[in-house]
Amino acid sequence: MAHPVDDENRTLSDPHVRYLVTKAALHAAKALTAAGWKPERRLETLMECHGIVLAARGPGSPLPFGRFREALSSDLAQLLPDGVEPVDLKGLFVLDHDGQVTEDAFDLDFEQRMLLHTLRKLDRSTDMLGGVRELREEVEQETVYLALSKQGVQSVYENGREDLIRYPSGPTDGLADLRLPPTVVEFYTDIPYASTHQGWWYECPICRWPMRLALGKSAGALVGSARCWHTPHAEMGASYLFRPSDDGSAAELLPEPRLDRPAGREAVLFPDIDGIPQPMPAENHKALARGIWRYTTVPGIPELALRDRLVERGLKVDLWPALDAYDLMVKIPGTKTSFKVDVKDYTSATTLASLIHAQEGDRGGAAWLVVPDYRAGQVPLLSGVCHQYDMKVATASAFAELVCKQAGVMWA
């Protein structure tokens, strides 16, 4: 279904309408939560975002500014015009109870942009709205990829990408030691404001990116929380409490109750989170831009873990062959059996499925789509789409167990 967006009767597809609504809501939420903004700047940004939503809805579906403002703290699907299926927007909030922009909103916005960016490159979408800057820009991941692959040397690409995964944050004076070109180092920026307290920050024990810090009341007392911005990491144990300080001193983190470590095949890839993150000064420290962290560092963790654990079991694994045609080439020594693997960690299985369909499978020729164990619920939907393109889908642990069985070795 298409919807009018201006007086010339141009139209937008449903995915683009959902994208514009999500993008406008996300920008509006940032305007409401950003520190130090003057009231007139907040209002101006909110009005601009309201205008984008009106453009996406079309002249036949007006939306009062008050309803737009209310929807930012409730179900985002309210902003869609009649006839557009909400899909992942149903039940989505852009602001949580702490007044912070939610991870799901950020992820959905980025994943929708990835889909539209791919459609544009494939010349399968002609409904780009020229006034929206984000749809004219290259996706950050592509900028990084081009910088790392520019020399055409496999080892240079592997070293740079592995550093982005292992070192998404750290001291400013240590950036020069990373195996990255200057254009990629520029994606390291100041520690996010929402990840600091009294000038201190804490890295997630799983991904090493600054955790989100928030203050709240519990039994009348002020209590702080530190949680990884990536919800699955927080659910695995990257979640802590602390007593806020008011004298500039660093707070000590206390682990929140966490789920037991999984048993069986999933235990092998489960991260070690026994240590308590130590405070670090925000001054003279930097972290990767959120998009690079979320879609390079986060999915890179299971990529490296799979490589390392399979190699320990005697298999041969190549990372990002042919300058990232796909993510892993797994070979069983002494045989001609090999597995071409693409690893994806998308919050929205629907958007990932649409991306796979748009590309008619994996553009690099991968025969397996592997998702982290915490995305096991996505396997049925993705399997239905991938089957059309002779691709198989599995969780990381299920895939590793299958490969090890064929190699005649134990996975767990």
HEC sequence for 293-311: HHHHHHHHHHHHHHHHHHH
Other beta carbons within 10 angstroms of residue 124's beta carbon come to 10
Other beta carbons within 10 angstroms of residue 313's beta carbon come to 14
Buried b (16+ CB within 10 A) or exposed e, 215-227: eeeeeeeeebbbb
Residue ranges, the chain, pLDDT below 70: 1-11, 123-139
SS3 assignment, position 404: helix
290's CB contacts (< 8 A; 6+ apart) are: 106, 192, 229
Instruction: Identify the pLDDT of residue 246.
Output: 81
Q: What's phi and psi for 342, nearest 5 deg?
A: -115, 125
> Cα(170)–Cα(309) distance, rounded to whole angstroms?
26
Instruction: Identify the pLDDT of residue 8.
Output: 44
Instruction: Identify the pLDDT of residue 139.
Output: 64
Instruction: Identify the pLDDT of residue 307.
Output: 98
Instruction: Identify the pLDDT of residue 254.
Output: 96
Instruction: Identify the pLDDT of residue 133.
Output: 44
Instruction: Identify the pLDDT of residue 76.
Output: 86
Instruction: Identify the pLDDT of residue 140.
Output: 74
